[in-house]
Every structure is written in C-alpha cells, then in structure tokens.
Structure 1
Amino acid sequence: MANTNVDYYCAAFDANGKRIYSDICDFDPTKDKNADKVQVLKDKAQKAVSDAATIEIITAEDFCEYLNGKIRGSDGKPTEYIPPEPTAEEKAASKQASLDAEYTAAQQELGQSLLVANLNGDTDAAASIQGEFASLNTYYKEQSDAIAAELTAAAEGSDK
C-alpha cells in the first residue's frame, strides 16, 4: 500500500467513472462479520452523493490511482482518463472565442491609434484608421458567419 495508512476505502463514482466521494474503511470488508459495517459505509456514501452510479469498497492501491487522475473503468478497475473529442459546438465556441479575443485586441489598438491621430490633428491618418476599422468589422462578421455555417453544416450532418 502506498501513500496511505489504511487498507480499504469506500468510494462512490459518477456515471463517467470519476471518484466523487470516499471515506476510510477502518475494518476488513472481506470478512463476513463486517457485512453490516460495509452496508453502513455504503449507505453513508449514498446519502452524501445521491447521484453516485457506483458505490463500492476499494483497496488503498486503487484509491491512490484514483487520486492520481485515473477513473473507474468498465471492469471496475482504475484506468487512464481519455477525454472525449470536442463536439462541433465546442470547437465552434473555441473558434468564436479566439476570434472575439483577436477582434477585441485589434479594436483596442485601432482605437488608441485613432485617438493619437485625432489628438495630433492628422485627418489622413484618422481616415485611414477608420478604414481599417471598417475592414476589421467586415472580417469579423465574415469569420463569425463562417463559424456559424460550420456549426450548422455539422448539425445537419449529424442528423443524417
């Protein structure tokens, strides 16, 4: 046993295998005389996390693996967590967030440049900056529309 001074834990897992609750089991759950104690531990876990998909007694070794990021596999043993591929909606949201950040930064930079041009009375520079700002807005709208179109196409593809 590593990193713990007990042999067993009561653990609850959600439907995805993530450990959502644990408590020390300070007795040997493999002995028949402790069956009532095991049930009390499991009932306590059920009251603490009503959305648990699985509640069981686990070894300290397994407990340490769960602490280190593993999840409960379909075989009931710790397994590496492999995150799911992002959905089309998540990919679109990420692209949109990146576009929004790029747009905001460019907008602020142009705003500062326009302020300086106006303070200096440079009407040619101010007009040029206003043109760049219009181009920026056009670019932003085109890119946002493209992201929305990708999302729509992905949604229509998944409906087939």
Structure 2
Amino acid sequence: MNKTNVQYYGAGFDANGRRIVSKICEFDPEKERNSDKISALINEIKAMSEDIAVAEIINADAYDQYLNRGCIRDNTTGKPVKYIPPEPTAEEKKASAASKIAAEYTPQLDELKGNLLTAVMTGDTELESEIKAEYQDLITAYNKELEAL
C-alpha cells in the first residue's frame, strides 16, 4: 500500500461495485462521538452522483485496492475483490467481428472511389467500367463476409 497520512475515505460505488467518487474522511469513524459526521459524509458522497448505489467509509488499504489494484466492491461482502471482466455477449462478438471486416474493406473501397472519380474526371470510360466492376465485386465479398456472421 502507498504510505499516506489519510486513514479513512468516504467512497461511493455504482451498482456494479466500481468506485466512482471518494473524499478524504477527516475524522476517525470508529469513535462514537463522530456518528453525526459519519452520516454527513455519507450523505455528501451520495449527493455527488446519482449513479451511487452504495456510500460508505473505507480504510486506506481498501481505498488503495480500489484505486491501484484493480478491485471493485463485492456487493455481497462489501469488501474489495479483483475485477474480472464479463465475457462478451454473442452480440458484442458479432459487432467486433463486423468492425474488423469493415476495417479490412473500407480502405480498399475508399481507394476505388477515388480512382473512379479520377476516371470520370479524365473521361476514361473503359477504366471507369473496370473500377465499377471491381467495386461491385468488393461490395459483394464484403456483404458475404458480413452475412456469414
């Protein structure tokens, strides 16, 4: 843990356990005389964002885990746990694959569009026909790959 003179923090977490706001706690929350201060700090944290599902006071070690060690708040235990990203959904995998296909074809299609414009501007009808045919073949291949997804 990083050495700090701060022992406690007020922290706000979203419904997924991600820390979204925090504030230094300038008093010892373990002392009974500070109960009013605890409530005020919790309310202040909750007011910082409408996305806060849980606001609480945490110690410096837990704060370090959330900040520097890739942890999120476990909704069952309230303790820091290592964040494990969820597996992508089938829809996300499909979108990613479609994006890769588009990235492969887009530069070729753009080049053909530029070449077609040059052929039209120079009046080269033979080259224009060849480029249109090549463009159509490329669009057909692109669509087939997308449909295969």
* TM more than 0.5: yes
Residues in 2 aligned to 1:66 and 1:120: alpha-carbon distance in whole angstroms? 65
Query: Which residue does 2:77 correspond to in 1?
Result: 75
Matched position secondary structure for 1:28 = coil
Q: What 5-or-longer segments of structure 2 have no aligned partner? A: none
The amino acid across from 1:129 in the alignment is I
Residues in 1 aligned to 2:77 and 2:140: alpha-carbon distance in whole angstroms? 54
Residues in 2 aligned to 1:117 and 1:54: alpha-carbon distance in whole angstroms? 64
TM-score, structure 1 normalization: 0.78
Q: How does 1:1-160 map to 2 (within 5 A)?
A: 2-68=2-68, 69-73=70-74, 74-114=76-116, 119=122, 121=124, 123=126, 126-147=128-149
Residues in 1 aligned to 2:84 and 2:97: alpha-carbon distance in whole angstroms? 23
Matched position secondary structure for 1:23 = strand
Matched position secondary structure for 1:84 = coil
Residues 93-135 of structure 1: CA distance to partner in whole angstroms, max 9, x if unpaired? 2122222222221112223444566659583x55443322111
Matched position secondary structure for 1:21 = strand
CA apart distance, 1:4: 2.8
Residues in 1 aligned to 2:81 and 2:47: alpha-carbon distance in whole angstroms? 26
Residues in 1 aligned to 2:17 and 2:129: alpha-carbon distance in whole angstroms? 59
- Contact kept, 8 Å, 1:3 with 1:64, in 2: the verdict is no
Residues in 1 aligned to 2:71 and 2:123: alpha-carbon distance in whole angstroms? 61
Residues in 1 aligned to 2:81 and 2:133: alpha-carbon distance in whole angstroms? 56
Residues in 2 aligned to 1:122 and 1:25: alpha-carbon distance in whole angstroms? 76
Residues in 2 aligned to 1:42 and 1:133: alpha-carbon distance in whole angstroms? 62
The amino acid across from 1:38 in the alignment is I
- Contact kept, 8 Å, 1:6 with 1:24, in 2: the verdict is yes
Question: How many pairs align?
Answer: 146
The amino acid across from 2:71 in the alignment is K
RMSD between superposed Cα atoms in Å: 2.2
Identity of aligned residues (%): 47
Moved more, 67-76 or 107-116: 107-116
The amino acid across from 1:27 in the alignment is F
Residues in 2 aligned to 1:114 and 1:6: alpha-carbon distance in whole angstroms? 66
